[in-house]
């Protein structure tokens, strides 16, 4: 699968204290469009380049919490409201 991303500027509405943000919030800023001759199957979903590796994100947040002054008071959500790995 190939992917193509377009980014639009939006006014900053909120500064997150809980990271990663809840899935509903992500709906506002990220839309994914499938194009092709047939409906994507479960197997196709497993191969999209837009998957999130929860462990990597957790590691990155951990590192930022330790080493970045802006992340020092971070409240980790750790995918509490996440039930699917794809968004």
87's tokens: 């968004």
Q: Tell me the closest approach of the beta carbon of residue 37 to another protein, in angstroms.
A: 7
- Would you tell me which residues interact with another protein (CB under 8 A)? 1-10, 12, 14-17, 19-21, 26, 28-38, 40, 44, 48-53, 56-57, 59-64, 66-67, 69-70, 87
Q: Tell me the closest approach of the beta carbon of residue 77 to another protein, in angstroms.
A: 10
Query: Residue 71 and residue 18: Cα distance in Å, rounded?
Result: 10
Q: Tell me the closest approach of the beta carbon of residue 61 to another protein, in angstroms.
A: 6
SS3 of 37-83: the string is: CCCCCHHHHCCCCCCCCHHHHHHHHHHHHHHCHHHCCCEECCCCCCC
């Amino acid at each position: 699968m190939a992917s193509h991303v377009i980014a639009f500027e939006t006014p900053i509405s909120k500064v997150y204290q809980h990271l990663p943000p809840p899935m509903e919030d992500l709906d506002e800023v990220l839309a994914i469009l499938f194009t092709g001759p047939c409906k994507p199957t479960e197997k196709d979903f497993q191969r999209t380049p837009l998957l999130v590796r929860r462990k990597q994100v957790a590691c990155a947040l951990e590192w930022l919490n330790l080493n970045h002054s802006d992340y020092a008071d971070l409240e980790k959500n750790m995918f509490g409201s996440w039930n699917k790995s794809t968004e």
